[in-house]
Amino acid sequence: MAQIGTFTRDENGFAGTIKTLTLNVKVTIKPCDRDNDKAPDYRVTANGVEFGAGWSRTARETGAEYLSLKLDDPSFTAPVYASLVQGDKGEHRLIWSR
Greater pLDDT, 1 or 53:
53
The structure's pTM equals: 0.92
Each residue's pLDDT tens digit, 7-25: 999 999 999 999 998 889 9
- pLDDT over threshold 80, residue 1: no
Among the listed residues 3, 2, 4, 8, the one whose alpha carbon sits nearest the alpha carbon of residue 92: 8
Its domain, for residue 86, covers 2-96
pLDDT in tens, 57-94: 999 999 999 999 999 999 889 999 999 999 888 899 99
User: Residue 96 carries which side chain, given as an amino acid letter?
Assistant: W
Q: How far apart are CA 27 and CA 25, in angstroms?
A: 6
Q: How many distinct structural domains can be found in the chain?
A: 1
